[in-house]
């Protein structure tokens, strides 16, 4: 389960951000996760809860916003959300689509309690 290594990298990145604000306490992290990122949100949440014990993240809440898969249709030029298992354009049924969203795992927000 590679979510533990993703969690470790996330905690390292947030620690670098927190170090820029001495005395700040990390209280919240918000992520955007797309279905093609390769990261399972539930497993990442569990990895974080397990890893945060007795660290700077002990009181931190992790929230993960799951983003939809989005494609651009080269046939009708529409941008639409689609199901992961159906890559056809919902407007014209073309298979000539390209992914424009849903591959991301983004650190969207870090919330610090700074004295």
- Residue ranges per domain, the chain? 3-10+26-113
| 3-state DSSP percent of the chain in helix, strand and coil, to 5 | 25, 35, 45
Q: How many whole angstroms separate alpha carbon 67 and alpha carbon 69?
A: 7
Q: What's 102's DSSP letter?
A: S
State yes or no: pLDDT of 115 exceeds 80.
no
The CATH fold assigned to 3-10+26-113 is hypothetical protein PF0899 fold (3.30.2320)
pLDDT digits (tens, 9 = 90+) for 69-110: 999 999 999 999 999 999 999 999 999 999 999 999 999 999
Q: What's 72's DSSP letter?
A: E
């Amino acid at each position: 389960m590679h979510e533990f290594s993703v969690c470790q990298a996330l905690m390292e990145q947030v620690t670098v951000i927190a170090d820029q604000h001495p005395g700040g306490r990390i209280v919240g992290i918000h992520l955007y996760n797309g279905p093609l990122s390769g990261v399972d949100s539930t497993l990442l949440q569990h990895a974080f809860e397990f890893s945060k014990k007795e660290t700077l993240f002990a009181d931190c809440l992790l929230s993960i916003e799951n983003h939809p898969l989005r494609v651009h249709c080269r046939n009708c030029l529409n941008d639409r959300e689609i199901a992961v298992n159906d890559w056809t354009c919902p407007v014209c049924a073309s298979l000539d689509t390209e992914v424009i969203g849903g591959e991301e795992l983004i650190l969207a927000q870090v919330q610090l309690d700074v004295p």
